[in-house]
Structure 1
């Protein structure tokens, strides 16, 4: 019998189905299996016996249902992860999964009824795998102070990390998104969750952007000397568009490195574009007039109108990774991707799909007609020196390196 060092709590009000779930989890090798008939009973078990690694949670139950249980337990620290086991439609299960994520819970996925070992086993195994380091907010570190962030900027400790974008058909690297990490001299490499809230609160976004531009354009020049032409993409917060000096400062930096605007992209998240004052629109127009590319990031994750997409001078759409994650089991995700590709084609905009993590997702996207993508299947974010070595080592055959970084 396999062995999984997991403590699992089953929430299911139907006695027979609960017995089936408990038996199946034991067959799969789970170390300890607890059971509850509703959310209130589950909370009492957690209070009495301590946290569990996984909760296998039904949604419709008498008394406290699964939705309320997830809300109540979300901030307790008693749940390592949740698997939704329900006979409700998959779109309802998926919505509950998103709710759990917004509460800070690790949602491993959802399974229908009757439970199947083939579906449940891989989710339990995934629970044993730690989250990637770059996605962990290093909560023990807390949010950095203004003084420490200013010192980090002054000492050039905030560094660009680079995640390539690819032609999904040929594997060619088309460019790289510039992310940011704090290379702290004592605490090591810190996630943006540690310092970006402070950067935003203290009005340091422009200073950070210009620091990253100097680093990335130096790297771009080095890549060009290796015979690689690489577009670099910077994340731009919507609030920065209210700075009337933004475009003139960008223009000065581009001139300093003799870099044409067409080799630079600025990515703005959809959620920040609900209202765009005149000065912001002017900055967008001026960036395009300089030849810079404009990308609307996390498309589909917010609620901005399609009218805004038509009004603003973007020429690239980056489709939110959530649609790729649901591609294998949610037909609506496939429909959204296909529709976005058609929309991009009609508007003359490139479409980049984010969050590609498996060969199956890559193949499915190619079959849907996707041509550009980004994700861990191709490459994880890496420091600039590593990117240069990686480009040189792979020498154009980049698509064959899926998942190697």
Structure 2
């Protein structure tokens, strides 16, 4: 190792194993090595000697354990990177590795026990080439607009439908779009749904926005069709809106006004609101399906999924939560979950859409699993209507 060797803390309650770790680090060229028998001792030590580059952590010990120690130092700047050395089961070690990353620490790897000198030295070398994570930014305090402003925005048609394409992972063909909400504020610029959606919900304006959004999107769908593009429009529907007995009638009127068949529309309903769907909601789901509309259970896996409800409710699409894709490379279990959901969709005759695809490596992994349709920033970000039409123009032969 170079003369710029890392400062290393060994957190291990077993004296012999601690001495073995120290000896291996010395043989690897580390000179500044500190030892602690539990988390409390380690924190006191860091207060005296200052930050370290790497902490080699056991997890299970008397006193403050390694899990609590990692939690305490996360984001503090006292430790740069973590190496886990524990005899706990692999799934628990993976979970702690995930926790390390979420705490803005570099996770160098999991060595298990007993320590192996070559594996340890490999991780020490890896540390030289890993850039430390940027400091966690202070989240801006988002001011949610008041009822008067939101009602005015609705009346002035400042709330706009934006569109994010869904695509075939193998060919890149566009398979439809998800219709999202943005506020084109005259003074503040483009605002995300977080600035106004809570007010729409609190003030009972969700249906007003849904109809306005559908009117905009179905008009765009007509325009796209005239230009040779056949696009399915997917709208987000809150589970609470299903209890409105007027919902399906108004949807039917909108479809008729724009000359759109029900098959050209999908309604995405988040799974968390469906576990106890009342009879009124079930009736709305059935009627939407009878009109030919597709029904997608959105963010599947983000809540407490009920397989029984999935079988009972008339959905024909599963939209898998983006979190599974986000952790695809770090968490092997995510591959197994996605593979299982694809098999479940096939068994239930339901298509599966994967959200959150941000890299080509993710796309390729999903393709290898048998996934065909996805959505995410790797392919396209949400865009305004005219921008979508211009974006589609060179893809005239690549629409599903």
TM-score (norm 1): 0.76
- When residues 18 and 227 of structure 1 are mapped into structure 2, their CA distance, relative to the original with a 3 A threshold, is farther
Q: CA deviation at 1:244?
A: 1.2
In the alignment, structure 1 residue 13 sits paired with structure 2 residue 11: yes
| Distance in structure 2 (CA, Å) of the matches to 1:185 and 1:311 | 45
| RMSD of equivalent CA atoms | 4.1
| Distance in structure 1 (CA, Å) of the matches to 2:286 and 2:332 | 37
Q: CA deviation at 1:372?
A: 0.9
SS at match of 1:297: strand
SS at match of 1:282: helix
| Distance in structure 1 (CA, Å) of the matches to 2:372 and 2:328 | 16
In the alignment, structure 1 residue 342 sits paired with structure 2 residue 343: yes
- When residues 245 and 358 of structure 1 are mapped into structure 2, their CA distance, relative to the original with a 3 A threshold, is same
SS at match of 1:256: helix
SS at match of 1:377: coil
Contact 1:324 1:333 in 2 (8 A): yes
| Distance in structure 1 (CA, Å) of the matches to 2:47 and 2:179 | 44
Contact 1:11 1:39 in 2 (8 A): no
| Distance in structure 1 (CA, Å) of the matches to 2:316 and 2:334 | 23
In the alignment, structure 1 residue 389 sits paired with structure 2 residue 387: no
> What's 2:197 paired with?
196
The alignment covers a number of residue pairs equal to 373
- When residues 385 and 56 of structure 1 are mapped into structure 2, their CA distance, relative to the original with a 3 A threshold, is farther
Contact 2:298 2:319 in 1 (8 A): yes
> What's 2:140 paired with?
139
Please give the per-residue CA displacement for 1:246-288, whole angstroms capped at 9, x wherever unaligned. Answer: 1111111111111111111011111111101000000000000
Q: Which has the larger radius of gyration?
A: 2
- When residues 87 and 382 of structure 1 are mapped into structure 2, their CA distance, relative to the original with a 3 A threshold, is farther
Please give the per-residue CA displacement for 1:14-72, whole angstroms capped at 9, x wherever unaligned. Answer: 58879999xx9x9xxxxxx9x99676688889999xxx9x9979572764445435666
- Aligned pairs (5 A) from 1:109-124: 111-113=109-111, 114=120, 116=123, 124=131
Q: CA deviation at 1:215?
A: 1.5
In the alignment, structure 1 residue 86 sits paired with structure 2 residue 87: no
> What's 2:168 paired with?
167
- When residues 260 and 216 of structure 1 are mapped into structure 2, their CA distance, relative to the original with a 3 A threshold, is same
> What's 1:365 paired with?
366
Contact 2:11 2:66 in 1 (8 A): no
TM-score (norm 2): 0.77
Please give the per-residue CA displacement for 1:347-400, whole angstroms capped at 9, x wherever unaligned. Answer: 11101111212212211211111111111211122222221111113334589x
- When residues 327 and 245 of structure 1 are mapped into structure 2, their CA distance, relative to the original with a 3 A threshold, is same
- When residues 44 and 248 of structure 1 are mapped into structure 2, their CA distance, relative to the original with a 3 A threshold, is farther
| Distance in structure 1 (CA, Å) of the matches to 2:8 and 2:156 | 51
- When residues 151 and 270 of structure 1 are mapped into structure 2, their CA distance, relative to the original with a 3 A threshold, is same
- When residues 219 and 278 of structure 1 are mapped into structure 2, their CA distance, relative to the original with a 3 A threshold, is same
SS at match of 2:249: helix
> What's 2:59 paired with?
60
Deviates more, 1:209-218 or 1:113-122: 113-122
In the alignment, structure 1 residue 289 sits paired with structure 2 residue 296: no
Please give the per-residue CA displacement for 1:81-132, whole angstroms capped at 9, x wherever unaligned. Answer: 996642455633554577689xx9667767324372676577636x35999x
Contact 2:108 2:123 in 1 (8 A): no
- When residues 229 and 398 of structure 1 are mapped into structure 2, their CA distance, relative to the original with a 3 A threshold, is closer
| Distance in structure 2 (CA, Å) of the matches to 1:216 and 1:46 | 58
Q: CA deviation at 1:337?
A: 1.6
Q: Which runs of 5+ in 2 are unaligned?
A: 1-5, 13-17, 112-119
| Distance in structure 2 (CA, Å) of the matches to 1:208 and 1:304 | 28
| Distance in structure 1 (CA, Å) of the matches to 2:218 and 2:318 | 23
| Distance in structure 2 (CA, Å) of the matches to 1:145 and 1:172 | 41
